[in-house]
């Protein structure tokens, strides 16, 4: 649903962000901001800041940020139109009725039909489990100690031996063979025509986050039954395995601050029955970046409850890397002496599993422990190679404090001298081009100048700092506008924000929350929020502040000059920017800019 910018702004302005967020979580005033523990990731020290003047929020722990609409979308786990309706109703604003094009209507109608086929199939399987022919399936579920409430909650069912019974049922409901095949419940056989995908299996309906059935998983009940142990629906127009997770429709509202990632349906169901409703599982495939992205919408704290065998360890190591690339932390639940969560809970119970969660192992330390198994620690050469591999991995940490903490933890656990390991990391960084450890202090401008930052990261940091300075001191813009343009912000999103910001300052209408509304993607909204909330250096004297601001401005201009210089050979318009940039830099180096 498209809403005009004026309407979005009206809804936003009529919902004060502090009042709205206070309705969900407790806020405490601290200076000019309101603080609390972040509702989007687990933390003990408050790092979630809400600014009434700017009408934006920012978590300095997980990086989430945005305006009141963004918050409602994330907290309520809803779409933008749904958030608009929630806030419009709260403010008494009437929204226009949704209008769709003919093509959009056609696509939506087909999608709804496919979902309806799955819904009816789920009803059919659910009913079959509760008939005399479902006795064997019920015995299997009894053996797995699943209560009737749990079976009902997950919609568990049974696919009878005669698969054509499902076809007859769906035909009776008015669905064609084409639709049944398109949704993945049947396939075409040259000799037998349309045949069903599932028969003689316990059925697990797979639901999306809105509780709509998008696919199925089927499990054989005995060792002598034919076919693969688990059989899943193929990918369809409504079922993308790489972007959905089993159990996420319940886990997203668990409010535990974390998600437990398992390997199979039964692990998820068993954990939910034991009260761990934050458990999810991938859908018959290895964990994917798309699934990591889905989890990140709800939390950045992920616990891995994979099987304790070799295959499970390998899968866990792969998942750790995917989570880390997505900006999330992973911890490993130790399930020894049992293989999986289902076995563990059935044998040791809920309290014991909660204790394992509370003492879950840091993912990096788990990686190092698994790495150790590849080396002979009784052989000096093997031990040296192990230490070198540790140093290589420690080079991947870009933040000094984080890297130092891990050096200390690893040195303590593996009885390596802290300074010896630290030197090894520095030497390894020099060889491999990783992040080097340095004791140099950050310059007072707040720009990261050490070699741990790539030129691109350095440029982005400078641009974020400058935009935050202008948010705090909009009176500076008229003094520098002859030296600065939106094109000096070489990140596309930063340039869009700068252009709108400069226009708003010129009109004396600077509105950070309104600028965030320019972006539909939640990641872009968080990134835009960071441009108004980057932590500025704590400087006491006016002279120090003026020098810091001047250094940041020069840094942005210098990066812009170098950026367009590199493109002047192939981009005619870049040449004029290079000439203008050089002139501006020369003038800035001779110019004093007062903050008053």
Q: How far apart are alpha carbons 478 and 468 in whole angstroms? A: 16
Burial zone of 66 (CB within 10 Å; 0-12 exposed, 13-18 middle, 19+ buried): buried
Alpha carbon separation from 114 to 120, 204, 205, 214 (Å, rounded): 10, 18, 14, 8
Two tokens at 5?
A: 């910018």
Q: Looking at residue 447, what is its pLDDT? A: 58
DSSP letter at 97 equals P
For residue 574 the two structure tokens come to 């870049």
∠ CA(120), CA(123), CA(128), 5° rounding?
130
Q: At what angle do helices 80-91 and 5-13 cross, to 10 degrees?
A: 50
Q: Cα separation of 503 and 500, whole Å? A: 5
Question: Are 62 and 38 contacting, i.e. CB atoms less than 8 angstroms apart?
Answer: yes
- Tell me if the pTM is above 0.95: no
The pLDDT, as a whole number, for residue 143 is 94
- Which pLDDT value is given to residue 541? 77
Query: For the chain, how far is it from start to end, CA to CA, in angstroms?
Result: 45
pLDDT of residue 435: 54
Distance CA 311, CA 286 (A): 11
pLDDT at 138: 96
**Which is it for the CA torsion 301, 307, 309, 315, positive or negative?**
negative
Distances (CA, A) of 72 to 61, 68, 284: 19, 6, 33
Query: Do residues 468 and 532 touch, judged by C-beta distance below 8 A?
Result: yes
* Both structure tokens of 563: 């950026």
Pairwise CA distance, residues 493 & 531, whole Å:
10
What domains are defined for the chain? 5-91 (3.90.580.10), 102-238 (3.90.980.10), 243-368 (3.40.1360.10), 374-432 (no CATH), 455-588 (1.10.860)
What are the mean pLDDT values of the chain's consecutive 10-residue runs (596 residues total)?
80 92 83 85 80 89 88 80 88 78 72 94 96 94 95 96 90 93 88 85 93 94 81 91 91 89 93 96 85 85 91 91 82 92 94 95 93 91 93 82 90 92 85 52 48 71 90 88 88 92 91 85 83 75 83 87 72 65 76 77
**What pLDDT score does 573 carry?**
61
Tokens of 85: 């309706």
């Amino acid at each position: 649903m498209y809403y005009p910018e004026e309407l979005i702004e009206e809804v936003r302005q009529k919902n004060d962000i502090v009042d709205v967020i206070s309705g969900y979580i407790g806020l405490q005033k601290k200076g000019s901001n309101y603080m609390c523990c972040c509702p989007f990731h687990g933390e003990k020290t408050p790092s979630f800041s809400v600014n009434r003047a700017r009408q934006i929020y920012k978590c300095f722990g997980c990086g989430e940020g945005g305006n009141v609409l963004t918050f409602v979308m994330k907290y309520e786990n809803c779409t933008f139109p749904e958030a608009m309706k929630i806030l419009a109703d709260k403010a008494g604003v009437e929204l226009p009725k949704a209008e769709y094009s003919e093509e959009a209507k056609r696509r939506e109608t087909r999608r709804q039909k496919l979902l309806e086929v799955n819904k009816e199939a789920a009803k059919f399987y659910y009913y079959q489990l509760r008939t005399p022919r479902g006795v064997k399936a019920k015995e299997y579920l009894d053996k797995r100690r699943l209560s009737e409430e749990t079976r009902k909650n997950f919609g568990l069912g049974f696919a009878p031996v005669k698969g054509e019974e499902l076809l007859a049922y769906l035909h009776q409901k008015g669905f064609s063979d084409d639709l049944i095949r398109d949704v993945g419940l049947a396939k075409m056989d040259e000799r037998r025509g349309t045949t069903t995908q599932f028969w003689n299996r316990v059925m697990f309906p797979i639901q999306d986050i809105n509780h709509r059935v998008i696919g199925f998983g089927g499990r054989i009940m005995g060792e002598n039954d034919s076919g693969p142990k688990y059989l899943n629906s193929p990918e369809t127009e409504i079922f993308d395995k790489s972007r959905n997770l089993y159990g996420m429709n319940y886990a997203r509202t668990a409010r535990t601050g974390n998600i437990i990632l398992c390997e199979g349906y039964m692990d998820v169901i068993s954990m939910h029955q034991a009260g761990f409703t934050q458990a999810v599982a991938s859908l018959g495939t290895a964990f994917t970046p798309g699934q990591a992205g889905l989890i990140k919408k709800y939390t950045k704290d992920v616990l891995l409850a994979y099987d304790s065998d070799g295959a499970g360890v390998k899968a866990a190591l792969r998942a750790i890397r995917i989570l880390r690339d997505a900006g999330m932390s992973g911890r490993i639940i130790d399930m020894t002496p049992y293989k999986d969560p289902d076995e563990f809970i059935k044998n040791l119970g809920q309290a014991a599993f909660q204790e394992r969660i509370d003492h879950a192992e840091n993912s990096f330390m788990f990686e190092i422990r698994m790495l150790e198994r590849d080396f002979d620690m009784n052989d000096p050469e093997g031990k040296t190679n192990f230490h070198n591999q540790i140093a290589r991995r420690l080079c991947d940490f870009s933040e000094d404090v984080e890297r130092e903490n891990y050096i200390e933890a690893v040195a303590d656990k593996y009885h390596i001298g802290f300074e010896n390991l630290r030197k090894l990391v520095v030497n390894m960084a020099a060889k491999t081009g990783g992040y080097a450890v340095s004791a140099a202090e950050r310059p007072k401008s707040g720009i990261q100048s050490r070699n741990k930052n790539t030129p691109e990261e350095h440029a982005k940091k400078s641009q974020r700092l400058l935009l935050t300075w202008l948010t705090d001191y909009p009176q500076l813009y008229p003094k520098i506008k002859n030296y600065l343009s939106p094109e000096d912000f070489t990140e596309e999103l930063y340039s869009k924000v700068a252009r709108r910001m400069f226009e708003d300052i010129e009109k004396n209408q600077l509105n950070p929350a309104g600028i965030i509304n320019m972006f539909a993607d939640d990641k872009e909204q968080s990134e835009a929020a960071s441009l108004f909330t980057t932590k500025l250096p704590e400087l006491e004297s006016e002279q120090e502040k003026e020098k810091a601001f001047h250094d940041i401005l020069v840094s942005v201009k210098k990066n812009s000059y170098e950026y367009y210089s590199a493109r002047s050979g192939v981009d005619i318009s870049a040449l004029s920017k290079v000439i203008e940039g050089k002139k501006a830099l020369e003038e800035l180096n001779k110019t004093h800019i007062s903050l008053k």
